[in-house]
Structure 1
């Protein structure tokens, strides 16, 4: 996003942006401080005291899920590639149906605070909790890195800050605010920030959508027709194939990406953790239903915003802008309402990044403190207060690492980092969750092989994919890969996303590890887990600790 930097001299007003940012930060800090007064137990810090309703948690989940990449990236993809860009919206939404049907209520009934609670319910605690924590930290770190780098670029652009040093200061400030949210507010404060951010994001997208439609007599067909007229690709932007239909490899790449997006969502630790913030399994179901409504509505907005940007701004102008596709939404906002609307939309994007970063940080810190420190290192002997104290220390460490990593990643391809997070979640987390919930014979070796195998294969395949090295040069003469030197090419895996290989491999290794192990899982434990996950019986008692 920091590639948008040159736009600051002609688009937007840094004074307006600073004022709007300051107001948002002040309001959310006040809410976090107020929420922190009720943080007295581990359940308060990790799960918000399980006091949120299904509707509140559903709004917060949508806030966790709708990142700035959804707002800026998908709108830009539709503006440039039409139908193929909208496929991202469809994939993200379908993913929520998978989460609702397979994991939402079952995880809420079986676990206490983290994904590892479910995986270790009937398996060996130490190795399984450690593996789950490693996978959780890997997913959240890459997701966190992308958000921090995006925050540095976006805020630096809108505040008119030049140079790597200035952008590094911005990333540090964003990181400091995020650490404060997590340390003081815990899950309760973070959830309220997510709710505010989700409302702002959906309202902002709705206002722009209605504004675009109003310019064309509230007629969607007119928007599409003007997009076709204003695009050098003509009617092709209304049909499939512009981005993923060039050859067999790109078509296969789309299938791979789709698998990662659809299946990865049900394994994202920071989304799974939200199911523990409601008091009952009924409210967990309501959470996902509300999230589906809001996320579905938002992605319908992106259709109008994308084609509206093509109609009003033009794909050529968007592609020529420093930020390319990411500049579509800001350029459309400026075209519609000038610098005031641009400032408001930019503030919403900033709020989006800040809220997602806070949610990721509390997930990572809870995973280490609850799974590794309390249950592996201390073997369950640590007090809840001691566990929360370690979680807060971990949040500071993770925050500092994220700040340093964000500074180094600033200017890199953040989409690569997000895709990696989804691929790891789909390859390592989802197979073990489903096997644990539904396969009676599943054992510890199967869990370890699935987690570590899925994690390793996803990492290796992406490192040796065109995303990192070997892509053709762009208009500036630099490679479109993360390594911009066109002379460096060590890729041998042809696809950008490893999902089509690493996801089936994760499931296969989970099966292979189980059937080759002499360990036999406890049938009574499985029966207890099955009853609890499907009915909720005994779940409330387990979560009172």
Structure 2
């Protein structure tokens, strides 16, 4: 692949300049904590839905899913199906009730009728851990993109680019807050959709707009041949690999509805109706995106070939850049490079804002200050936290260079589904659920998930492990969701049934009325 690094950088910097200008223009409205955390709840459902899709569709979705389809065929497309099905949980169970009950963070919801300090602290810790896994994956992904798209092969050069991405991200969050970050997400999602749809049209045009011809040529260019159209090329070789797929699918489907940066977006709209409309808008945007990745993935197999993709720097992640260069030359490759970098910038900005808001609002304002922080102090703490998290994510991304980015993202989903989802659902739908149950569920799910990850093939014992020279893995699956998610639900139930504390029935009544009707929820400013 012989793209033009100067052209790639020029288009990328042009997009960054436009988004920074937008962030600067909307920053004057950040006069209060509500403005900084929730953009004053001023976005419509459609606008927030596009931003939601921008938050959700990371570089792993853009490069990884299409690459998996190009190499593994049917088994790769299962990722797309899982990501789409996952949005039924926010749509049907969470979005409307969550928006009615909370104010800024997940901790507002899960602590509503519990003892505030311990539950808020647990919610903040899980948010920080999930955000850390996601941030490190995205920042490491920036290093992979550098080697693929800008022809920077040295570790030092990739580290410098990761640092640059981190600095721009911190500026987005500090200056623009949620409003600026949301507009960055909207711009990024629009560019991403245009990019994948444009690629799809170019690919279909090469095969006379015939899907049958495309699929036949894809099989001819793939190492698996016609078997790529059937299940089993990646999963199913052994009972362990089948269980690993079930575990991964469980984490992806259940984790989406518990990701803190996704949940926080429900507060940027004025009411529960717009929250539900946000999910519907995001779902339609992602339907278009994942259908396009199917065409792009099979197109990469047909035009580039799976062997060339696997042998390229970055492996499966190289499928889209290689395809863009083959189809449209250096210009199309430069556009893909710019969109990929903008994708990383937007996602890490949203994650950083969520993590800093959770620490400042839940830990500082409500745990350390008992819900009575000094005027302006919480906002200052949020901004300081954003800088600290940004610097730590830069360091983590540099240390994680060369590691499996897709695995880190899948692990973030597993942690979210284990630590957050049971507590959210129990809080919203089980009147008897107690503080002890909340703590058992959150800490039990978080702790078991981290423990299983530490002793899984992700860390040691496999050729693609973080530590390849040692083997201390005891848990056979790469994703712990199959064990940690049911365990978290069980611990929440046992903690409630066996614990001595009982929730206040008046608060349970208030939560039920507010979650269903919106009465008592904060009005639109």
Q: Under a length normalisation based on structure 2, what TM-score does the superposition of the two structures give?
A: 0.98
3-state SS, counterpart of residue 103 of structure 1? helix
3-state SS, counterpart of residue 58 of structure 1: helix
Residue in 2 that maps onto 1:497:
479
Q: Superposition pairs for residues 250-289 of structure 1, below 5 Å?
A: 250-289=241-280
Whether 1:484 and 2:475 are equivalent positions in the alignment is: no
Whole-Å Cα distance in 1 between the matches of residues 345 and 81 of structure 2?
Answer: 25
Equivalence for 1:195 = 186
CA distance in 2, matches of 1:271, 1:139: 12
Which range is displaced more, 350-359 or 377-386? 377-386
Given candidates 483, 491, 498, the residue that maps to 1:509 is 491
Matched, 1:28 2:12: no
* SS of alignment partner, residue 29 of structure 2: coil
Q: In structure 2, what is the equivalent of residue 293 of structure 1? A: 284
Equivalent in the alignment of 2:237? 246
Find 1:536's aligned residue among 470, 495, 518: 518
Please state how far the C-alpha of 1:384 moved relative to its aligned partner.
5.0
**Alignment partner for residue 504 of structure 2, among 522, 526, 530?**
522
Offset, 1:160: 3.3
SS at match of 2:420: helix
**Distance between the aligned counterparts of 1:162 and 1:258, measured in 2?**
34
Secondary structure in structure 2 of the residue aligned to 1:539: coil
Structure 1, residues 42-61: CA drift from partner, whole Å, max 9, x if none?
A: 11000011000000000000
Contact 2:247–2:480 (8 Å) recurs in 1: yes
80-89 vs 417-426, greater mean Cα deviation: 417-426
Q: Residue 100 of structure 1: which of 91, 98, 107 is its match?
A: 91
* 1:68-107 aligned within 5 A: 68-107=59-98
Quick check: 2:170–2:386 contact (8 Å CA) kept in 1? yes
Alpha-carbon distance in structure 1 between the residues aligned to 2:314 and 2:130: 26
Query: Structure 2: how far apart are the matches of 1:195 and 1:500?
Result: 34
Q: 2:119 is matched with which residue: 105, 124, 128?
A: 128
Shift of 1:221: 1.2
Q: Distance in 2 between matches of 1:80 and 1:201?
A: 22
Residues 148 and 406, structure 1, Cα contact 8 Å, conserved in 2: yes
Corresponding residue of 1:474: none
Assess if the C-alpha contact under 8 Å between 1:281 and 1:536 holds in 2. Answer: yes
The worse-fitting range, judged by mean Cα deviation, of 408-417 and 331-340 is 408-417
**8 Å CA contact retained: 1:17, 1:347:** yes
Q: 2:258 touches 2:421 (CA, 8 Å); kept in 1? A: yes
Distance 1:267 1:22 in 2: 33
CA offset digits 1:179-208 (Å, max 9, x no partner):
010000000000000000000001000000
Determine helix, strand or coil for the equivalent of 1:540.
coil
* Distance of aligned partners of 1:317 and 1:72 in 2 relative to their CA distance in 1, 3 Å threshold: same
Shift of 1:166: 2.0
Write the distance in 2 (CA, Å) between the matches of 1:332 and 1:358: 28
**How far off is 1:266 after superposition?**
0.5
CA contact (8 A) 1:115 1:272 kept: yes
**1:452-479 deviations in whole A, cap 9, x for unaligned?**
11001111111111122112xxxxxxx2
Residue 381 (structure 1) shift: 1.3
How far is 1:12 from its partner? 1.0
Q: Retained in 1: the 8 A contact 2:144–2:314?
A: no
Counterpart in 1 of 2:310?
319
The CA distance in 2 between the partners of 1:161 and 1:396, in whole Å, is: 27
Give the Å deviation of 1:157. Answer: 4.2
Note the C-alpha offset of 1:158: 2.9
TM-superposed deviation, 1:171:
1.2
What 5-or-longer segments of structure 2 have no aligned partner? none
**1:161 Cα shift?**
2.9
Cα deviation, 1:327-375, whole Å, max 9, x if unaligned, reads 1111110110011100100110000000000000000000000000000
Question: How far did 1:324 drift?
Answer: 1.3
Aligned to 1:303: 294
Deviation at 1:146, TM superposition (A): 0.7
Matched, 1:212 2:203: yes
Quote the Cα distance in structure 2 between the aligned partners of 1:245 and 1:297.
29
Give the corresponding residue for 2:360. 369
2:161 to 170, 195, 206: 170
Q: Which has the higher mean CA deviation after the structures are superposed, 130-139 or 153-162?
A: 153-162
Q: Deviations over 1:293-341 (max 9, x none)?
A: 0011100001101111011111111112122111111111011001110
CA distance in 2, matches of 1:535, 1:285: 13
1:78-98 alpha-carbon deviations (Å, 9 max, x no partner): 111100000000000000011
Unpaired runs of 5+ residues, structure 1, are 1-9, 472-478
Q: Is the 8 A contact 1:178 1:358 kept in 2?
A: yes
CA contact (8 A) 2:148 2:314 kept: no
* Residue 341 of structure 2 corresponds to residue 350 of structure 1: yes
Q: Which moved more, 1:75-84 or 1:405-414?
A: 405-414
Retained in 2: the 8 A contact 1:41–1:384? no
Q: Map of 1:6-85 to 2, 5 A cutoff?
A: 10-85=1-76
For the 8 Å contact 1:35–1:185, the answer to whether it is kept is: yes
SS in 2 for 1:442: coil
Paired residues of 1:156 and 1:170 also in contact (CA < 8 A) = no
What whole-Å deviation, never above 9, does each CA across 1:520-545 have from its counterpart, x for those lacking one?
A: 1111101110111111111125x86x
Which segment drifts farther, 17-26 or 87-96? Answer: 17-26
CA distance in 2, matches of 1:465, 1:174: 30
Q: CA deviation at 1:151?
A: 1.2
CA contact (8 A) 2:147 2:313 kept: no
Q: Which residue of 1 aligns with 2:378?
A: 387
How far the C-alpha of 1:155 sits from its partner, in A, is 2.9
